[in-house]
Chains A and B, each alone.
Chain A
Amino acid sequence: MIECRFQITKGSFRLDTEMTLPDRGISALFGRSGCGKTTFLRAIAGLEKDPRGRFKIGDAIWQDDSLFLPPHERSLGYVFQEASLFPHLSVRRNLEYGYKRVGGAKRRVRFDDAVSLLGVDLLLDRRPGELSGGERQRVAIARALLRSPKILLMDEPLASLDEESKQEILPHLDRLRDELDVPVLYVSHSTEEVARLADHLALMEEGTVLASGPISEMLTRIDMPLAHRFDAESIIEATVESHDERFQLTVLRGPVGCFSVPRNNLPTGHPVRLKIFARDVSLTLTEPVNTSILNIVPATVDSLVEEGPAQMTVRLAIGSAPLLARITRKSAITLRLEPGSKVFAQIKSVALLA
């Protein structure tokens, strides 16, 4: 478990947060610009001046009332928004900078592993100035990993990159999550990144943590702002069940029933994550027949809330997984939807997140 509590005052801004995070997987710290996400991350790293607080990771205490470890004595990797590579060192020497400063016994990440995980093999002898934005950020992530950190802190690592570079880095972050046993705290204001990468989500607003919990839960909590966005979405965990060669579809086993998506090449049993926009989900009381929609699952209405004068957001349970639907208020009344109603959710579009 990772326990943190910080109180920091900077001019008129006040950060006062307390949260517990799982010590595995990717935890996203999500919120608008200026809500204190970066300050919080810097406080964990020991980079903020005059912080009051407490930080404990596993058995190690980095900070409490009587103790303050300086940044270089905290076992962490920090990826800044701009790659911030050392301009006077080659890529190889940048990577070695942190690697060399870890005692031999504490090295858990091998040099070659980090290099191949981030795909920077061919860049080793280049200078930072000769790299593209995406390449620089990949080197910066590998450099932070080679510190063999107990936690990897990432401050909007994709925010300053163009779309192409983002798409170039995301698969590496997927692999990092799946292949390394290092907890990651990932600051972001992009729901796209968070939905794809995070296992856990902490929602920040004006210096405080509103709530924190598993990602599928947090995206769909109707007492939280994410469920009310125009692009509100749900995350469903599934596994690859089979491939349909005739119609070029891949069948995925979800919590209840199966989903069909365009054919991919993932092996059977491979875990995948599905993203479903609330506006792509419609509800029927009886199982629809003669419909073009392939993905229809039985669901139970969990709760409903009005969304402006004409619309409603409905939170459904498919098995144990939450799913949001955005429908009109007229439909909700006509169908007499209320908590406990049994319905069928027709899902018009399912996006497969790697």
Chain B
Amino acid sequence: MTEGDWAALWVTLRLAGLTTLILLTLGTPLAWWLAHTRWRFKFVLEALVALPLVLPPTVLGFYLLIALGPRGMIGGFLESIGGRPLAFTFAGLVVGSVFYSLPFVVQPLQNAFQAMGRRPLEVAATLGASPVDRFFSVIVPIARPGFLTAAVLGFAHTVGEFGVVLMIGGNIPGKTKVLSIAIYDHVDALEYGHAHLLSGGLLALSFLLLIAVFGLNRKFQVVKT
């Protein structure tokens, strides 16, 4: 592997890790709310969350590029408070990935929360557990398969993104150049050997991650009462 490949791998892993962390933090309350609200227009929000599943990544990337740029809503705001626009930065990639991978984290969590229902929490409350206590002693262990699936899908999907990154991150080695773009560059330069190495690596990584998820979910499978 070339030095550039190693840099791309590092950017990719950092990007996917950070994105997954942010998505688990933001996605958990959102998924909980979606799972339990009786709001009439909840389906609108669900459609919005699912949008990145069907939208061409270039479309999402295009709008993000505009929003994050110096004249965009987010970029302009950041500039006005003395920051820098996010287009073509690592932070911009993180923002884009969060949107792009949102459904892969929120949907498994929402399903897990819907399956467990409110009852275990009510039981825990009557047994003296405070809300924070209930989250860690009841929600996390019962919904563990959901959290695991959400984390792995979010991570793997971010590792594999291409279109969004290309639109808002460009191709700055060591900063915004990720593995999938490195592969594209290698193929473009007819360096098939390098392309094979990276592609094979990603294939193996993805497969191993999914094996881990399915294997662990089987292990954690809890018998329903």
Contact = CB atoms under 8 A, between A and B. Distances in A.
B40 interface: no
A78 B123 contact: yes
Contacts of A82: 119, 225
A73 to B, nearest CB: 8
Interface in B197-225: 222-225
A77 B142 CA distance: 22
B50 interface: no
Given A84-B225, A129-B223, A136-B225, A72 B128 contact: yes
Q: Could you say which of A45, A87, A102 has the most chain B C-beta atoms within 10 Å of its C-beta? A: A87
Nearest to B220: A88
Interface string A119-151: 000000001111000001000000110010000
A97 B124 contact: yes
Contacts of B222: 87-88, 129
B127 A128 contact: no
A204 interface: no
Contact of A127 (B123, B128, B223): B223
A86 B141 CA distance: 10
A126 to B, nearest CB: 11
B126 interface: yes
Contacts of A108: none
A339 B142 CA distance: 64
Contact of B142 (A72, A87, A102, A143): A87
Given A84-B120, A86-B142, A87-B142, A71 B126 contact: yes
Given A85-B225, A87-B225, A129-B224, A143 B119 contact: no
B123 A84 contact: yes
- Interface secondary structure of B, over-half rule: helix
B22 interface: no
Contacts of B74: none
Interface in B124-167: 124-130, 133, 137-138, 141-142, 144
Interface string A58-82: 0000000000001110101110101
A129 B225 contact: yes
Given A86-B142, A88-B141, A71 B225 contact: no
Contacts of B120: 84, 86
Nearest to B222: A87
Interface string A229-258: 000000000000000000000000000000
Contacts of A143: 127
Given A72-B130, A80-B119, A87 B125 contact: no
A101 interface: yes
A139 to B, nearest CB: 10
B2 to A, nearest CB: 47
Interface in A83-133: 83-88, 97-98, 101-102, 127-130
Given A82-B225, A85-B225, A129-B224, A72 B119 contact: no
A147 B128 CA distance: 8
A20 B37 CA distance: 35
Interface string A21-54: 0000000000000000000000001110000000
A147 B224 contact: no
A223 B195 CA distance: 89
A336 B133 CA distance: 70
Contacts of B133: 72, 101
Nearest to A75: B128
Contacts, number: 75
B217 to A, nearest CB: 14
B125 A70 contact: yes
Contacts of B137: 97
Nearest to A103: B128
A245 B138 CA distance: 58
A72 B223 contact: no
Contact of A78 (B126, B129, B224, B225): B126
Contact of A102 (B123, B128, B224): B128
B122 interface: yes
A68 B142 CA distance: 29
Given A87-B142, A88-B141, A47 B224 contact: no
A152 B165 CA distance: 58
Q: Could you say which of B126, B133, B144, B225 has the most chain A C-beta atoms within 10 Å of its C-beta? A: B126
A144 B123 CA distance: 9
Contacts of B126: 45, 47, 71-72, 74, 76-78, 98, 144, 147
Given A78-B126, A84-B119, 4 more contacts: A70-B125, A83-B225, A136-B225, A147-B127
Interface of B: 119-120, 122-130, 133, 137-138, 141-142, 144, 222-225
10 contacts: A72-B130, A76-B126, A77-B126, A84-B120, A86-B138, A87-B223, A88-B142, A128-B223, A143-B127, A147-B127
Which A-B residue pairs are the 6 nearest by beta carbons? Answer: A129-B223, A98-B127, A101-B128, A78-B126, A71-B125, A87-B222
